[in-house]
Amino acid sequence: MKIEINQKKFAFIQDKYEILVDEKLTYKAKSDLFTFGSRIGIFNLNEKEIGTVEKEFEFPAEPYPKYTLSFGTYSSSRMLTISNNHYRLFATQGAIDIYGQKGRKLGIFLNDVQVGLIDKSKKAIFGGDNYTIKIESSAIEKELIIAFVLAFDDFFHSKGTMLSYDFGNIFIDPVKEIDPAWEPKN
């Protein structure tokens, strides 16, 4: 399965995203205006909110963010940042670990088996970041990975710039390396 998350350009006040699943517009997302903490709502095409991404309040502030990712009435997961290039989510299938790689890629692992890959675009014009996600559709819920990418973008993307280049992680050694030729089976 291929998912594309495209942040709208000129998003200086409110972040807005279009989310395509297998090249079909499936969801939209936008940040809340005038909230105490960071919150992004995820909506279906009928404008019904189906999920949220909320940054947890921390005092004193910690260097790594924690987010609560919620879907529907009963489904939620907490995103923990283990280090500056290792993130963990908990799902019904088990622990999902996401590892930063050299460059702009993130590897998605379910119980230590690679099940996905996230690639961030190099160039963002007027704040419009773009992400491409490839995942095994039967391994994990696509909504959980979409929510992770929105939280990741919320914390790391540069707001209010006309043009920015992301050279990615240049000096890190990945905690766990991806298979660079990996492709989803379904």
Q: What is the pLDDT of residues 88-116, one digit of tens each?
A: 998 888 889 999 888 788 999 999 999 99
Q: What are phi and psi of 118, to 5 degrees?
A: -115, 135
pTM: 0.86
Q: Are the C-beta atoms of 8 and 24 separated by less than 8 Å?
A: no
Per-residue confidence (pLDDT) for residue 48, from 0 to 100: 94
Contacts by 67-72, CB closer than 8 A, 24 or more apart:
67/147, 67/151, 67/154, 69/144, 69/147, 69/148, 69/151, 71/42, 71/141, 71/143, 71/144, 71/147
173 has pLDDT over 80: no
122 has pLDDT over 80: no
When comparing pLDDT for 43 and 82, which is higher?
A: 43
50 has pLDDT over 80: yes
Report the C-alpha gap between 93 and 141 in whole angstroms. Answer: 9
Per-residue confidence (pLDDT) for residue 166, from 0 to 100: 59
Q: Which two tokens stand for residue 8?
A: 């709208």
8-state DSSP, 162: S
Average pLDDT value over all residues in the chain: 83
64 has pLDDT over 80: no
Q: How confident is the model at residue 117 (pLDDT cuts 50, 70, 90)?
A: very high
First to last CA, the chain: 6
When comparing pLDDT for 73 and 89, which is higher?
A: 89
Say which range, 123-127, 138-142, 149-153, 161-165, has the weakest mean pLDDT.
Answer: 161-165
Q: Which of 44, 94, 64 lies closest to 155, judged by CA? A: 64
Per-residue confidence (pLDDT) for residue 164, from 0 to 100: 59
